[in-house]
Each structure stands twice: as structure tokens, then as C-alpha cells.
Amino acid sequence: MSSYVLITGANGEIGRAVARAFAAEGATLALTDLNPAALESFAAELPTEAHVFRHDVANGEETAELARQLTERFGALDTVITSAGLYEHLPFATLKPGDWARGIAINLDGVYLTLQAVLPLIRDGGSIINIASMAGHRGSADHAPYASAKGGVLALTRSLAQELGPRIRVNAISPGLIDTRMMQSLAPDRVQKAIEGLPLRRLGRVEEVASVAVFLAGPGASYISGEAIQVNGGLYMA
């Protein structure tokens, strides 16, 4: 895969898995995160060219500067993957306005700001892939800002698929229960109960999310746009 790929939130577990998957295909990567120092050693280990950028997705000025640097470094992009996100336990009864604003700013506004800034760089035939969530389809108790923002990401995905086609395809991936540090931090009995509710009877792996991203960016998905691909082991079927 001779292409230029931007991945935001690349220091997250899903973001890193996506980076590894595209690196294995030979893509040149632009990896962004709030803490670029944490990404440098990871990028150095990848079997392809990878450049690291500081990027606060909720900051419009930083996002505009990122677009300027990408234009200078790469000139164009083939695939953009928005993976930056914030998942917080916030019961609605005690939810503060700042909590709500923070969740929306990072999980939804950050997607809007990033995509609008880099849109001029995306080549004809390019692809946008937004990492959404099962929570955006079915809601999530005690995570209202996150679920609401991810629902917005799904609507934005469909809107952009209509607006940017036929030049650019736009899709989303909606992970379900994935084996990450967040899941590992939960009580074992709670995790086991969740697994028992899954038709596949196991948690997903970050690599299983990443492989879908590679597929959506490739020629095998050339007639797929406006879709949200569920990666949830059958827990939620739309």
C-alpha cells in the first residue's frame, strides 16, 4: 500500500493497532497525539516511515497548524483515520456542564475540526474512517457525553459520505467490547458477565478493529461509503 495515512489519537490502544496494520501494508504514516513524546519510540519501531505530530483535536489553532505541517511534509493524504477519544464514567445526575463540554469537544468537535482542516489534502479516491463506538448506536449508561458524541460521529460520517462522494469515501467503525486497559481495569466478574452476553463469548482484539480500517481504506471497499462497520462480536446487531 503506497499511501499517506493520518491517524489521530495514535497513542491509544486502537490507534496503535491501526498504525501497525497500515505500516505492515507499507503506508507512510502521520501519527498525532497530545503527548508526542510517548509516540516517538513506537513510531521508530514501525517497519515503515512514520512521522509524529503534537495535536489537541479540540483545539482549532493546533489542528490548522497540523494541516499546514502535513501539507509541507506530505503534500497530500490518501486516508484519514480519526481515533482520538475520551471515555469517562459520568453518571448523568451529577454531570457538570464542563464534563459534557469536554466529552463533546474531544469526541465530536475534534472529528469535525480535523476533517475540515485536512480535507483539502485528501486525494481523489481517498478515504475517511472515523472510529465511532457501539455506544453511539445504542447509548451507554453513565457515559452520556461519550455516547452522544459518538452518535454525532455516526451522523457526521453519513453526512460527509453524501457530501464528499464520489471523490472521497467516508465510513465509520463501531467497536464494541475490546480487550484494552479500560476493560482490564473493570472487576473480573463484570467482565465475565459482559463476555457471557456476547454471541462469540470473548472480548474483541484491537487488531480486529485495525484490520477493518485497512479493508475500508483499500480497493476491496471501493463501493462502500456511509457505513458504520460493527466490530462487537454480535453484541449489537443493527
Residues marked active site are found at 146
Which residues are 230's β-sheet partners?
Answer: 174
Helices (H), the chain: 13-24, 36-45, 60-73, 97-104, 110-118, 135-138, 144-164, 181-184, 188-196, 206-217
Instruction: Mark residue 226 as left, alpha or beta (left: phi above 0; alpha: psi -120 to 50; beta: remaining).
Output: left
Contacts 24+ apart (CB under 8 A), 58-64: 58/105, 58/106, 58/109, 58/110, 58/113, 59/113, 60/113, 63/113, 63/114, 63/117, 64/117
Task: Tell me 105's DSSP state.
Answer: I
Distance, CA of 75 to CA of 4 (rounded, Å): 9
